Amino acid sequence: MALDTSYDLRRSVIYCVYVRNFSQEGTFAGVIPQLDRLKALGVDYIWLLPIHPLGVEKRKGKLGSPYAIQDYRAVNPEYGTLADFEELCQAIHERGMKVMIDVVYNHTSPDSVLVKTHPEWFYYKPDGKRGNRVGEWTDIVDLDYQDRALWDYQIESLKYWAHYVDGYRCDVASMVPVDFWREARKAVAQVKEDFVWLAESVHAEFVKALRQEGVDAASDSQLYEAFDLTYDYDIWTAYERYVRGEIPLDWYLERLSLQDMIYPDNYVKLRNLENHDQPRFASVMPEGASLRHWLTFSLMQRGASLIYNGQEIGASHLPNLFDRDPIDWQGGQEDLSDCLSRLINIKKSALPVRGAYDLSGDRDLDLVQIAYKHPGSQDLALLAAVSLKGKSGKLAVELPDGDYVNALTSSPVTVKEGKLTVAADPIVIIL
pLDDT value for 1: 52
Name the DSSP class of 202. Answer: P
How many other CB atoms sit within 10 Å of the CB of residue 150?
19
pLDDT at 120: 98
In the prediction, which pLDDT does 20 show? 98
Specify the pLDDT at position 273. Answer: 97
Delimit the domains of the chain by residue range: 7-351, 354-430
Amino acid at 238: A
Given a contact cutoff of 8 angstroms between Cβ atoms, the answer to whether 161 and 94 are in contact is: no
Please give the model's pTM, rounded to 2 decimal places: 0.97
Q: What is the model's pLDDT at position 213?
A: 87
What one-character DSSP code corresponds to residue 15? E
pLDDT in tens, 264-276: 999 999 999 999 9
Beta-strand relationship, 304-308 and 13-17: parallel
Report yes or no: 81 and 75 within 8 Å, Cβ to Cβ: yes
Of the candidates 357, 370, 369, 389, the one whose C-alpha atom is nearest the C-alpha of residue 248 is: 389
* Helix-, strand-, coil-residue percentages of the chain, each rounded to 5: 30, 20, 50
* Tens digits of pLDDT across the chain (431 residues): 567 899 999 999 999 999 999 999 999 999 999 999 999 999 999 999 999 999 999 999 999 999 999 999 999 999 999 999 999 999 999 999 999 999 999 999 999 999 999 999 999 999 999 999 887 789 999 999 999 999 999 999 999 999 999 999 999 999 999 999 999 999 999 999 999 999 999 998 988 888 998 889 999 999 999 999 999 999 999 999 999 999 999 999 999 999 999 999 999 999 999 999 999 999 999 989 999 999 999 999 999 999 999 999 999 999 999 999 999 999 999 999 999 999 999 999 999 999 999 999 999 999 999 999 999 999 999 999 999 999 999 999 999 999 999 999 999 999 999 999 999 999 999 99
* Residue 382 to residue 359: CA distance in whole angstroms: 12
- Tell me, yes or no, if the two domains 7-351 and 354-430 fold the same way: no
Phi-psi label, residue 344: left if phi above 0, alpha if psi -120 to 50, beta otherwise: alpha
What CATH class does 354-430 carry?
mainly beta
CATH T-level topology, domain 7-351:
TIM Barrel (3.20.20)
